[in-house]
Structure 1
C-alpha cells in the first residue's frame, strides 16, 4: 500500500516555549471552497510569543500549532474554488472570515484559537486568502497579514492619511516600521520615538524625518518640530501610561491608534487632554481582507519592501522566537 503523503508542523501538546515539538500528520485534501497551500514562509509576531507562553487566556485545542502569518503556493483546490488556481502565490488573512468593513460574527484568528501556520502545508478557506504581491518574495509577503495590515489599517484605511501630515510612531518593531514606510509612501513625515540609540541610523535610513529618545521630553519635541501643531496620527504601540504622553503630542482633532501593549494592558490618559484636544482614539485589531488587498496593490505600485531582520530554517523555530523576544529591527521569518 502506498504511504500517505505527510505534512510537518510545529505544535504544543502543553503550553510553554520548552514544550514546542515537531510532528507529522497526513496531508489533507481540500474540501469545498478550500485551498491547500504549501507554505513558503511564516513571519513571527510578538503575539506568537504570548500564544506559545500561555495562550493569552484563549481556549485552545491541544496540541496547538502557533503562527498567524504565512505566504505560500496553492497546490490543490477544492470544489467550487474560483478565486485561486494551483500555482497561485497567496498570503492568508489574519482574521478568517472578516472580509470587508462589516464585521463578521464568528471570524476566527489564525495562530490561535484558529489554525496555526507553522507547518509545511495548511488547508484554509479560499475566502481567507489574498493574492501575494507580485513584487515580493514569499518571505517578504509573509510579513503582511498582521504587521503590514495593522499599520495600513490604522493609517490608510481608517486614518485617511494625507500628504504633508505627521505620523508619530513608537518603537521599531514590525508594525512601527511598516507605519514609517506607509507614511512615507503617502508623502507624510514620520517621527519615531525609540529607546534604542543603536537603531537611530537604521530608522533614518528608512525615511524617518526625526528620531527622538524615549527617555526625553518627546511630546514637547514633537510640538516643536511641527511648529506647535502636534502630530496628526499616532501609532501607539506602547500603551499603558504612554498614551497620556501621546495625547500631549497630538494636534487638535488628531487620531491615536491603539495597537500594542508593551507598557501595560490598562490605558492611562488625562481626561482633559482627550476631551479638550478632541482626540479620536481607536483600537486596531489588524484589519479585514479588502484592506489587505488594497495594501497588496499599494506595495506593487510603490515598490515597498518589508524589513526582514533575520530568516530561520523551519527546524530553528525556538531560536527564531528567542530572537523575536530580543526586539529585532524588522521581522523574523521562518522558512519551511
Structure 2
C-alpha cells in the first residue's frame, strides 16, 4: 500500500510517499480502506515534532480519516466488508471519564495515523458513517467535530436560548457554530476577515466581530449580550484568553482548546475569572461513545461539515501548506482512495 511516512520532525519536506505491506486484521480488528483524510492544526505541530518524546518515527501522520471496511478479524461481528466507517481519535478511550491510559496512543502522533491507503483499527474504535455524508465529509468528524461537540454539548452543556462565542473559521470553530445552532443557541462569531464573517453569518451566526479592527472584542461581545456570553469556544489559547474572560458572563464557561493566538499577554485577567466564578474547561476531543452520540445527532439533523478544499493524495504537501497559510474556511481534506 502507498502511505506517507515522516522519518523525523522535519516538517512538510520530510513527508515521503513509501510502500508498506497491507496489514492484516487480527482478533477484534478491522482492515479499513481509507478513502479520505482531513487536517487539523495538531497535524502541523506533529510533523514538526511538536509532541516531543510521545512521538515515534517513522510515523504515518494525520489522525482523522474515513473509509470502507475491507476485511475483518475472525471474531468481529458488528462490522462487515463494505461498511462505511469513521475511526476514533483515541482508540482506547471507549467511554467514561478520561484517564492517562485512555488518552495514550492518539492517532498520528504516538501511533500511526491515516495518511495511508489502508489501516487496521480495533473494531470497537470504529463508528458507522452517517448515510448522508460523503467520505470526505465524514473524515472531518474524529477530531475537529468531536472537540466542538464536547466543548458545546458534553462539557459546555449549552441549551436553547444561551449564547456561544466562537473564534475564527477553522474546523473546530465552524463545527461549534453548527452544534450551537443545532441546540437553539445564539452565536457570536469572530474573525479577522470581513469576508469570512459574512460566510459565518450564512452558516447561522447571529452576530459577528472583526477582532482585528476591534481588539477589545471581549468587551464588544459583552455589550452585545448585556451580561456576557454563556460559553466561549477558546481555540486561540492563552494569547486570546483575556478577551475571552471579558466576554464571558458571571458563572459562564470558557472551553479551552487551542494554541493558535501565540504567547500570553504580560498580565492575564485570572483574578477577574475568579471574581466572576467562571469555569475554565479543558477539552481533549472525546471517546468512541461520544463520537457515536455526535454521529447520531448529525444524522438526525442532516448536518453537513464545511469542507474548504480537497487535495489529491499525491498533493499532501500542498494540503499542509494551504492549511498553514490560514486561508481556509472549514476543513482541508485529502482524497486518499
The reply on whether 1:284 has 2:283 as its aligned counterpart is yes
Give the Cα–Cα distance (whole angstroms) in 1 for the partners of residues 283 and 262 of structure 2.
Answer: 16
Q: Give the SS at the match of 1:58.
A: helix
* Native 8 Å contact 2:107 2:113 kept in 1: yes
Matches within 5 A, 1:300-315: 300-315=299-314
The alpha-carbon deviation at position 200 of structure 1 amounts to: 1.6
The reply on whether 1:47 has 2:42 as its aligned counterpart is yes
Matches within 5 A, 1:168-183: 168-183=165-180
Give the Cα–Cα distance (whole angstroms) in 2 for the partners of residues 61 and 218 of structure 1.
Answer: 41
The alpha-carbon deviation at position 313 of structure 1 amounts to: 0.6
| Residue 73 (structure 2) aligns with | 78
- 2:240 corresponds, among 225, 234, 242, to 242
Give the Cα–Cα distance (whole angstroms) in 2 for the partners of residues 271 and 85 of structure 1.
Answer: 52
* Native 8 Å contact 2:147 2:284 kept in 1: yes
* Native 8 Å contact 2:8 2:49 kept in 1: no
Give the Cα–Cα distance (whole angstroms) in 2 for the partners of residues 303 and 20 of structure 1.
Answer: 36
| Residue 325 (structure 2) aligns with | 326
The alpha-carbon deviation at position 266 of structure 1 amounts to: 5.5
Bigger CA drift: 307-316 or 52-61?
52-61
Q: Specify every segment of 5 or more residues in structure 2 that has no aligned partner in the other structure, as ranges.
A: none
| Residue 198 (structure 1) aligns with | 195
* Native 8 Å contact 1:241 1:269 kept in 2: no
The reply on whether 1:141 has 2:135 as its aligned counterpart is no
- Relative to the length of structure 1, the TM-score reads 0.95
The alpha-carbon deviation at position 104 of structure 1 amounts to: 4.6
| Residue 5 (structure 2) aligns with | 11
- Relative to the length of structure 2, the TM-score reads 0.94
Aligned-residue Cα RMSD (Å) equals 1.4
| Residue 4 (structure 1) aligns with | none
Give the Cα–Cα distance (whole angstroms) in 1 for the partners of residues 175 and 248 of structure 2.
Answer: 20
Distance 1:319 1:64, change over 3 A: same
Number of equivalences? 329
Give the Cα–Cα distance (whole angstroms) in 1 for the partners of residues 292 and 244 of structure 2.
Answer: 30
| Residue 228 (structure 2) aligns with | 230
The alpha-carbon deviation at position 105 of structure 1 amounts to: 4.2
Give the Cα–Cα distance (whole angstroms) in 2 for the partners of residues 319 and 176 of structure 1.
Answer: 23
Q: Specify every segment of 5 or more residues in structure 1 that has no aligned partner in the other structure, as ranges.
A: 1-6
The alpha-carbon deviation at position 244 of structure 1 amounts to: 1.6
Give the Cα–Cα distance (whole angstroms) in 2 for the partners of residues 199 and 106 of structure 1.
Answer: 40
Give the Cα–Cα distance (whole angstroms) in 2 for the partners of residues 128 and 265 of structure 1.
Answer: 35
Deviations 1:262-310 (A, max 9, x none): 1236686323211111101111111111111111011111111100000
Q: Give the SS at the match of 2:253.
A: strand
| Residue 251 (structure 1) aligns with | 249
* Native 8 Å contact 1:55 1:112 kept in 2: no
Q: Give the SS at the match of 1:82.
A: coil
Give the Cα–Cα distance (whole angstroms) in 1 for the partners of residues 97 and 221 of structure 2.
Answer: 36
Distance 1:265 1:36, change over 3 A: farther
* Native 8 Å contact 1:231 1:250 kept in 2: yes
The reply on whether 1:131 has 2:125 as its aligned counterpart is no
